[in-house]
Structure 1
């Protein structure tokens, strides 16, 4: 839930990759399978503790969660429900715009959501910028920002990383971007970034391990090109990967 990158692809597609930083004592996530929501067949790794998720996708919509909004906050439990259920709620509305207009944010811990609606499903919009949204709930007010989907983006959870560290991570991302080919980003390359950026800094590196039970425990990539979409989920504690097609029943599980 704590480091997310977005990369545009040349032919109406994108790569979204999420590193989940979590306490290792938390129950292991259930590997991604497909579920039916009100409007979508969605795929996500399930947190057995909350029955929610930090990242979920269908062939038409991708939603990803980070803890915190604009700055670190002191938790004030009890909250109405887990933030992981907010991710899944977006798929129960006709569109992200409908969700934002109708959803009840009150009583939830602060969070950031990244919502991506592929271009093919956004023909009703006059500006392509509206296909990539950032939603921040600060505990009092929901804030909606439309981002340019033709530009790369990186987010880091404000609950784990200071402004200075977040700026350093943005620099790592910028340095990585200038080394990439101009004809499109590779899944393997961005996953390597999530595993190697800031190497040697176990506290603030993108692949972190703070020695107190908090570390990066999984890595998820959504790869969308046109109507073809794939989720690649890797449990970093067991070195097991699942590749899940988001529009078919084919899937493969293997260790590496």
Structure 2
């Protein structure tokens, strides 16, 4: 996995959407509230490893993970920690920047993290770990698309970036237009389209967060079972772990 887009809407508002490309047999729990390391958060849970690829927390932060760094890598037999647990740790951290700067990523499979934090004004960060070095950068608040290096070649990424630019140059930015792009855009190539189908590996879900002032609207589309879940995420009520 996966494909991620970011759009800035002014103030502290933004939209971030993630397509999860995964083995169709991998079980997932739909987005729900949870407590991890004393922080309330909302995320879909990967039931195999216990982590997640995307979530928001009461710390005024969103974290989204893509597998792989700059280029496709050779997988090892085992790793020290699941990458999905890093997402939860960053959601729970009091200071995500400090957490990243002091984190020991050794023994963890390559990944890319997109992080937004709006505690002191909206900021967008990118973290790339390639098993040798962590590249941590603050990005401008401009439309951006990421494609996982584990599934898409440089040529495929370039084609998708062209689609991204063409589509949103013609379409007015809205929640509906972003979700339509992530679910339907392409040219009929099931290896390349935004919703891929490579047999046992497919785009299994789309998760989107739309921050609107004090509200965060979550949409989760289960593409395998044709279900959709929409929720306004708030952290002012008790939840169980």
Deviations 1:127-148 (A, max 9, x none): x6xx100000001111111110
Residue pairs, 1:153-192, within 5 angstroms: 153-181=144-172, 185-192=173-180
Q: Is the CA contact (8 Å cut-off) linking 2:71 and 2:150 kept in structure 1?
A: yes
Q: Is the CA contact (8 Å cut-off) linking 2:221 and 2:227 kept in structure 1?
A: yes
Rounded to whole Å, the distance in 2 between the matches of 1:249 and 1:232 is: 20
Rounded to whole Å, the distance in 2 between the matches of 1:12 and 1:248 is: 18
Counterpart residue number, 1:52: 51
Residue 231 (structure 1) shift: 1.4
**Structure 1 outlier segments of 4+, above 2 Å:** 37-40
Counterpart residue number, 2:224: 237
TM-score with structure 1 setting the length: 0.88
**Which residue of 193, 202, 213 corresponds with 2:181?**
193
Provide structure 1 residue ranges, at least 5 long, that are not aligned to the other structure.
251-256
Deviations 1:23-60 (A, max 9, x none): 11222x10111112346321000010000001011251
Rounded to whole Å, the distance in 2 between the matches of 1:246 and 1:89 is: 19
Residue pairs, 1:130-169, within 5 angstroms: 131-149=123-141, 151-169=142-160
Larger mean CA deviation between 214-223 and 1-10 belongs to 1-10
Count of residues paired in the alignment: 236
Rounded to whole Å, the distance in 2 between the matches of 1:11 and 1:97 is: 21
Rounded to whole Å, the distance in 2 between the matches of 1:47 and 1:71 is: 24
- Kindly report the root-mean-square deviation, in angstroms, between the aligned alpha carbons of the 2 structures: 1.6
Rounded to whole Å, the distance in 2 between the matches of 1:225 and 1:244 is: 13
Counterpart residue number, 1:87: 87
